[in-house]
Amino acid sequence: MATANLLLHIHAHPDPRAAEQLSGALRDIPGVLDARHNPRRDNLFLVDFEPGAVAPRAVLEAARRAGYPGDLIGL
């Protein structure tokens, strides 16, 4: 199984509870293996995923649906 990661920049600065909720919502996406929040840079999330199972754009859209608009800044 090949894996990749992406860096997601959320426009808002979520508090720790909201950041954990968003990480959990991203982990619930089929094909996402892990989603981690960087507490030193509170609007960045590192997401590990299976490229054949989920598209990076789907991760971004899931964050937006959860109320956290942002951008993909790295793959």
Please name each of the domains of the chain with its CATH number: 4-74 (3.30.70.100)
Give this prediction's pTM: 0.90
Q: In what order do the strands lie in the sheet with 32-37?
A: 32-37, 44-49, 4-10, 70-74
Task: Count the Cβ atoms, other than its own, within 10 Å of residue 49.
Answer: 24
Element (H, E) at 16: helix 16-27
Whether 75 shows a pLDDT value over 80: the answer reads no
pLDDT digits (tens, 9 = 90+) for 6-44: 999 999 888 889 999 999 999 999 999 999 998 888 899
User: For residue 1, what pLDDT is reported?
Assistant: 73
Q: How many CA atoms lie within 13 A of 24 on its CB side?
A: 6
Q: From CA 52, how far away is CA 45, in angstroms rounded?
A: 20
